[in-house]
Chains A and B, each alone.
Chain A
Amino acid sequence: MDSGEPSHQRRTSRKSVAFTDQKIVVDADGSVTMVASPTDEIKETAQSHSARTPPLVAALGAFTDAPQATDAQDAAAPAADDGLDLSLMKKKKKKVKKEEDADADAADEAAPAESDGAIDLTMKKKKKKKAAKEDDEFAKKLEALNLEGKEGEEATPQEDEQDGDWEQGTGIWAHDETKTITYNPLLSRFFALLSQKNPDHASTGTRSYKIPPPQCLREGNKKTIFANLPEICKRMKRADEHVTSYLFAELGTSGSVDGSRRLVIKGRFQQKQIENVLRTYIIEYVTCKTCRSPNTELSKGENRLYFITCNSCGSRRSVQAIKTGFSAQVGKRRKMQG
């Protein structure tokens, strides 16, 4: 996604299915190529190699697929974990200490029968002392942890030596500085530079599956024309009828196909709404649940069940048939019987 409208990009950024403005070329044999991005797969893998910054990785969680785990990702994850762990520990520690304080205070209150003011004073003092103590302890633990963490690396006595602004080239980042720079600052610098130079990577970090945006026209007042349905279906390698029936079931309407294979849907629908439905369709009926590849085939297996076969990992799963479910009587009154 290079030059789509900004708003469009932002909205679809978190979704796994993106609607691209790039033109796609559908060959006669059904193979689909993107014009603006000539080698689609290579680009995708490149994205997955580089763009997964630690927060993104954390956010993606379940979505990251094991075989695709890259070196950069592996390296990034532990760094993020460290930071998280530390902060968590800090919080937990403090809470626990406070509880202990409260206990101790309660004991104090019980033992010496003093006036309220005095007790208050002691409480305050105690808390301060304890807090200070705890800070010391925590600092010590932090140091220990740091030491532990850097066992494998070169000897790095203190962290505060590794300061300086790499943007201005001060401290350790100075041009004539000869000190060895540790791994973590280098790593953070790398990711900062990466996101700075390629701002669109952060948003499209997931390998997104791109289909052309649905073109919606209004026919009269009550009908919507979905113009490029055949194109989209070809891109997804699905039968038009299947997509159509899904659309109708989800939107709770009916419709027909007109002379030039455009879909006419009853009711007013915006492009955005159709996009949402298509997105759910792709998640349900196109992407492989195991490897998340969109390169799948839908086939009718034995006893009227539909199966999705993945072409890249070979997994096979059954999918639910499209059900319309309940639909209320809208508009004209139901015809009287008899």
Chain B
Amino acid sequence: MSIENLKTYDPFAEADEEDSGQTKQTQEYIHIRIQQRNGRKTLTTVQGIPKKFDAKKILKVAKKEFACNGTIIGDEDSKMGDVIQLQGDQRAKIKDFLTNKDEGLGLDAKTIKVHGF
């Protein structure tokens, strides 16, 4: 029989793990935003795509499928990660693409937040 009190355990280990799990859940949102340019032109930005997906490949497919141009903007601050920027209002289309299980990434629609009007 072992004495419970003498067990060695790190009191911070578990808490740390829990913390990271929580922050993961809250920060997992993918933000789809829209920005107005001059005239009736707009930009769509997608921020927060999980690291396991290759942004370049997503962009390539998106460009082909939506018939629009776009770029990847790597932020120097590294706060927001790679941001995919597409020309025109592609919010609905990119959301479909991200959530589509067969042809898209099959992400959960709850993790995606569409902003804008």
Instruction: Tell me if B116 and A330 are in contact (CB < 8 A).
Output: no
Given contacts A250-B116, A269-B117, A273-B117, contact A326 B80 (CB under 8 A): yes
Instruction: Tell me if B36 and A252 are in contact (CB < 8 A).
Output: yes
Binary CB contact string for chain A from 149 to 164 against chain B (1 if under 8 A, 0 otherwise):
0000000000000000
Instruction: Tell me if B116 and A328 are in contact (CB < 8 A).
Output: no
Given contacts A252-B36, A253-B36, contact A326 B45 (CB under 8 A): yes
A273 (CB) vs chain B CBs: closest residue: B117
Residues of A in contact with B, size category: 10 to 19
Say if the beta carbon of B63 comes within 8 Å of chain A. no
Main secondary structure of the interface of B (DSSP, over half): strand
Say if the beta carbon of B115 comes within 8 Å of chain A. yes
Contact residues, B24-68 vs A (CB, 8 A): 31, 33-38, 40, 43, 45, 47
Given contacts A252-B33, A252-B35, A268-B36, contact A326 B116 (CB under 8 A): no
A329 (CB) vs chain B CBs: closest residue: B73
Given contacts A252-B33, A267-B36, contact A326 B47 (CB under 8 A): yes
List, in ascending order, chain A residues with CB within 8 A of B90's CB: none
Given contacts A250-B116, A251-B116, A251-B117, contact A330 B34 (CB under 8 A): no
Contact residues, A250-269 vs B (CB, 8 A): 250-253, 267-269
Q: How far is the CA of A273 from the CA of B38 in the complex (A)?
A: 17
Contact residues, B59-88 vs A (CB, 8 A): 73, 75, 80, 83, 85
Q: How far is the CA of A63 from the CA of B86 in the complex (A)?
A: 36
Instruction: Tell me if B117 and A330 are in contact (CB < 8 A).
Output: no
Instruction: Tell me if A325 and B43 are in contact (CB < 8 A).
Output: no
Main secondary structure of the interface of A (DSSP, over half): loop
Residues of B in contact with A, size category: 10 to 19
Q: How far is the CA of A277 from the CA of B115 in the complex (A)?
A: 9
Instruction: Tell me if A277 and B73 are in contact (CB < 8 A).
Output: no
Say if the beta carbon of A276 comes within 8 Å of chain B. yes
List, in ascending order, chain B residues with CB within 8 A of A274's CB: 117
List, in ascending order, chain A residues with CB within 8 A of B117's CB: 250-251, 269, 272-274, 276-277
Say if the beta carbon of A327 comes within 8 Å of chain B. yes
Instruction: Tell me if A328 and B31 are in contact (CB < 8 A).
Output: no
Contact residues, A227-254 vs B (CB, 8 A): 249-253
Binary CB contact string for chain A from 300 to 338 against chain B (1 if under 8 A, 0 otherwise):
000000000000000000000000011110110000000
Which residues of A does B touch, CB under 8 Å? 249-253, 267-269, 272-274, 276-277, 325-328, 330-331
Contacts A250-B117, A252-B35 known; 5 new A-B pairs at CB < 8 A? A250-B115, A252-B115, A272-B117, A326-B73, A326-B75
12 A-B residue pairings within 8 Å (CB atoms): A251-B116, A251-B117, A252-B34, A252-B35, A267-B36, A326-B33, A326-B45, A326-B47, A326-B73, A326-B80, A328-B35, A331-B38
Q: Which 7 A-B pairs have the closest CB atoms?
A: A273-B117, A252-B35, A267-B36, A326-B83, A326-B47, A326-B80, A276-B117
